[in-house]
Structure formats: structure tokens, C-alpha cells
């Protein structure tokens, strides 16, 4: 049903300038994603996956087309409006963690809730740090944590606000195989626990196949 659609793209394209002239990175992409689905956006490097994710999350604006996130037309919002919507509805897990160096693990996880004025920010952050096995490291700064630990903090921060959509962009790209596998298991567990929608960008076919649905990209288009 229409109300179950949490994310949609309607003929979305993204064009940028280059020394050789206009370059189309995403071309005429359309799809819908329903609440609590797990969807992989898969394809080789340079296929436009990360750009599409940035468009879906409102981090970038499309050159043409329409994107709706949690019932709101992203393309009708200004930058501040998109930022507010992201704060309320979206969680992010990136390849390079993006933790704030001056904040402890606990403070990094608390931040999204504090920005929303939640009085339970500390207790909720401790609860989810326990879920990812890092309560003992709550007072440590990112530089004092391993790569796998930093990504677990990033995942806890992304999931703590129970977002409508959790975006993960090559979340194991900077991790060794064993650590990466643990991170992926945890990502799917957190997503199931929170009953959110997972949109996962990856070039790893085996990882993509673990999602309920795979959108394959080639040369900026859905294959």
C-alpha cells in the first residue's frame, strides 16, 4: 500500500560538470522501497551507487526527478529542511566511520538524541552501546578504538534514534574480512531490532545477496 512506501525515486538523474563537459553520474533511476525492507544498491566501482545514496538521503540534490523520504518530497526542501528531515528520519553508516574525534564513544552516540532534545540520550546511548558490546569502551575517544570498534560506535549512533531509513555505504570497506563479517551481522541485527528500512550500498555481491532485494547499477542506471 502507498503508506508503506518509505523511500521513492522517480526518474532521478544527477549531472555534474567535468573538464570534458557535462557528466551524468545517475541517469533516470526510478524505484520504491517499503518500510522495513532491506535493499542493496550493488554494482562495480564508478557505477553511481554512492551518489545515488547521497541523493536518496538528501545529502545532494538531483539535477532532475523527484525523491520522497518518509512521506516528504526532498526535492521541495531547502538545505536546512533536508538537514532537519535527516536528523529526524535517517541514520548513516559510512566506510570511514565519521566519528567526532573530540567526543567519546558515548558522546558520539548521544549526539543525535541530544540534537533532538531527548532527555533520555545518555541512558539510550548506553543501552545501544551494550547492544554492540562496547559499554566498557564508552569513555574512549575514537583514536583509542580499533577500526571495528569505531564502526560499531558509528552503527550505534546511526541506530540510536530508530530512524525510518538506515543508510550504509560500503560499511566494511576499511575493515579486515573477519571484522567486516561481524559488523555486517550486527548491522542486520540492529536493523531487525529497530524495524527500520535498510539501504546498503556495496560492490560485494555476496553481501548484497543477504538483503531481501538487490538494485543493480551499471553506468549510472539500474540494470
Write down the pLDDT at residue 26.
97
- For residue 2, name the pLDDT band (cuts at 50, 70, 90): low
| Of 112, 106, 132, 110, the residue nearest 121 (C-alpha) | 110
Instruction: Kindly report the number of other CB atoms within 10 A of residue 22's CB atom.
Output: 9
Contact 216, 223 (CB under 8 A): yes
Convert the pLDDT of each residue in 54-107 to its tens digit.
999 999 999 999 999 999 999 899 999 999 999 889 998 888 888 999 999 999
Q: Which pTM value belongs to this model?
A: 0.88
pLDDT above 60: residue 1: no
3-state SS assignment for residue 10: strand
115 CB-near residues (< 8 Å, 6+ apart): 87
Q: What residue has cell string 517499503? A: 34
- Show the DSSP H helices in the chain as ranges: 49-56, 79-89, 105-115, 121-131, 147-159, 177-194, 205-208
Q: To the nearest whole percent, how much of the chain has pLDDT over 70?
A: 99
Q: Strand order in 221-222's β-sheet? A: 90-93, 165-169, 197-202, 38-42, 213-218, 221-222
C-alpha cell at position 209: 545477496
Convert the pLDDT of each residue in 164-182 to its tens digit.
999 999 888 888 888 888 8
Classify 2-222 by CATH class: alpha beta
Amino acid at each position: 500500500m502507498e503508506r508503506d512506501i518509505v523511500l521513492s525515486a522517480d526518474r532521478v538523474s544527477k549531472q555534474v560538470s567535468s573538464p570534458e563537459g557535462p557528466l551524468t553520474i545517475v541517469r533516470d533511476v526510478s524505484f520504491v522501497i517499503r518500510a522495513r525492507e532491506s535493499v542493496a544498491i550493488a554494482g562495480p566501482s564508478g557505477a553511481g551507487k554512492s551518489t545515488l545514496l547521497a541523493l536518496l538521503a538528501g545529502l545532494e540534490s538531483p539535477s532532475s526527478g523527484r525523491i520522497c523520504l518518509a512521506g516528504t518530497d526532498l526535492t521541495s526542501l531547502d538545505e536546512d529542511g533536508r538537514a532537519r528531515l535527516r536528523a529526524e528520519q535517517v541514520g548513516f553508516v559510512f566506510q570511514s566511520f565519521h566519528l567526532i574525534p573530540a567526543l567519546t564513544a558515548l558522546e558520539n552516540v548521544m549526539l543525535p538524541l541530544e540534537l533532538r532534545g531527548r532527555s533520555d540520550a545518555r541512558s539510550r546511548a548506553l543501552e545501544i552501546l551494550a547492544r554492540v558490546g562496547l559499554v566498557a569502551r564508552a569513555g574512549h575517544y575514537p583514536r583509542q578504538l580499533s577500526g571495528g570498534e569505531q564502526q560499531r560506535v558509528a552503527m550505534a549512533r546511526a541506530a540510536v534514534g530508530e530512524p525510518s531509513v538506515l543508510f550504509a555505504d560500503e560499511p566494511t570497506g576499511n575493515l579486515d574480512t573477519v571484522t567486516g563479517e561481524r559488523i555486517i551481522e550486527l548491522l542486520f541485527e540492529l536493523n531487525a531490532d529497530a524495524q527500520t528500512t535498510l539501504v546498503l550500498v556495496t560492490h560485494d555481491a555476496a553481501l548484497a545477496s543477504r538483503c531481501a532485494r538487490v538494485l543493480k547499477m551499471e553506468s549510472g542506471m539500474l540494470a
